[in-house]
Structure 1
Amino acid sequence: MTMLFVTYAGDTGTRFDRDYYTNTHLPLVLEAWGPHGLETAAAFFPASDGVGTIAVCVCRFQNEAAIRSAINSPQTERVMADVKHFTDAKPTQSRAVPL
């Protein structure tokens, strides 16, 4: 299993529609990347004063090859085009593998 973390940073002026993200965007991600090895995707919203990380998506893939397959798939264009519907923040990706 390999994790892909997608984080969004901002401040009190950054638009982020949590409802759209959890009810529309995450199902789109699962539909687009599921056939490539995405097993789960979950959203987290850190408690803060509104500055820094405003949202984190944890995507669990079968392995690193599955992440590459998903990211390089034609469906990724649709996933990325949807970002403008819920935020002005730019998503940042990072990976983690179990020790």
Structure 2
Amino acid sequence: MAMTLQVLYPVGPDTTFDYDYYANKHFPIVQEAMGDFIASVHVVKGLAGGPGTAPEFHAIATMNFASKEALESALKASGPALADIPNFTNVQPQMLIGETLD
């Protein structure tokens, strides 16, 4: 069964997020640490929460895995990626592990 890991970076009153660092430095760290287990990645930069509404998230990264075992292996290898988070944001990310329904 295919699995996903979503990492959500919520917007708050005093939150910061460096998109350039996230795209150009953090992504390669994630790829190096976890890439052997990831089937695909999709990242969205938050622009709005609806018409005329500010976004609730700076970004959401969705990583797709072929199996629960691949996801578990990626999580075990995620230390360098997790340690890098303070280099681009002061946000405590939220995570959602899910089963792909399609």
Could you say whether these structures have the same fold, taking a TM-score greater than 0.5 normalized by the shorter chain as the test? yes
- 1:11-50 aligned at under 5 Å gives the runs 11=12, 13-35=14-36, 37-48=37-48, 49-50=53-54
Number of residues paired by the alignment? 96
Structure 1 length as normaliser, TM-score? 0.83
Alignment-derived partner of residue 55 in structure 1: 59
Cα offset for 1:24? 1.1
Instruction: Supply the AA of the counterpart residue of 2:21.
Output: Y
Runs of 4+ off more than 6 Å: none
Matched, 1:72 2:73: no
Q: Deviations over 1:59-81 (max 9, x none)?
A: 111212111111123xx221111
Stretches of structure 2 lacking an aligned partner (at least 5 in a row): none
Cα offset for 1:50? 4.5
Alpha-carbon distance in structure 2 between the residues aligned to 1:52 and 1:14: 11
Cα offset for 1:22? 1.1
Question: Percent of aligned pairs with the same residue?
Answer: 28
Cα offset for 1:12? 5.0
Q: Deviations over 1:38-88 (max 9, x none)?
A: 122232112225452221001111212111111123xx2211110011000
Give the root-mean-square deviation of aligned CA atoms: 1.7
Structure 2 length as normaliser, TM-score? 0.81
Q: Whose helix fraction is larger, Structure 1's or Structure 2's? A: 1
Contact 1:42–1:58 at 8 Å: present in 2 too?
yes
Alpha-carbon distance in structure 2 between the residues aligned to 1:51 and 1:58: 17
